[in-house]
């Protein structure tokens, strides 16, 4: 699977651990994040990941910032992107099952690195249930 990942200065350590997990599981990674803790603007990285999803250059995306909110808001401005802010494995699972989320947003200041990796694993291995949820997902985008 091809995964696009992006992060601001709150997430370099998270990205490093997540990329290591992804590589161990034979995923291809498109890295749009910073590798330093020097302050940067999260929209720059959120837009890059969302664009990869929008144009189908990646199957799923991962975005990381301090609260997870700003980068998720940024990603959700793109057509056909459904970025879900997740703070537990259960939320990540429901985001995929019920919302067909294609980007997981991780709040680096509120979850541990092992929690983040576990959420990513759950996100990548959970499928959209469709059915009654598909009708709802089809109502999300403004057209």
Catalytic amino acids?
98
DSSP 76: T
Please name which of 77, 69, 70 lies closest in space to residue 53, comparing C-alpha atoms: 77
Quick check: helix, strand or coil at residue 8? coil
CA dist., res. 25 & res. 121, Å (int): 10
48-77 per-residue burial string, b: 16 or more CB within 10 A, e: under 16: bbbbbbbeeebebbbbbbbebebbbebbbe
């Amino acid at each position: 699977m091809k995964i696009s990942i992006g992060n601001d200065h709150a997430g370099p350590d998270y990205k490093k651990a997540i990329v290591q997990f992804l590589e161990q599981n034979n995923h291809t990674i498109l890295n749009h994040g910073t590798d330093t803790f020097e302050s940067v603007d999260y929209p720059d990285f959120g837009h890059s990941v969302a664009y990869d999803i929008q144009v189908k250059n990646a199957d799923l995306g991962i975005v990381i910032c301090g609260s997870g909110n700003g980068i998720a808001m940024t990603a959700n401005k793109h057509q056909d992107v459904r970025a879900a802010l997740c703070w537990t494995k259960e939320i990540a699972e429901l985001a995929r099952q019920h919302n067909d989320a294609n980007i997981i947003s991780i709040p680096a200041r509120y979850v541990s690195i092992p929690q983040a990796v576990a959420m990513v694993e759950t996100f990548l291995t959970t499928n959209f249930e469709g059915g009654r949820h598909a009708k709802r997902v089809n109502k999300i985008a403004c057209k």
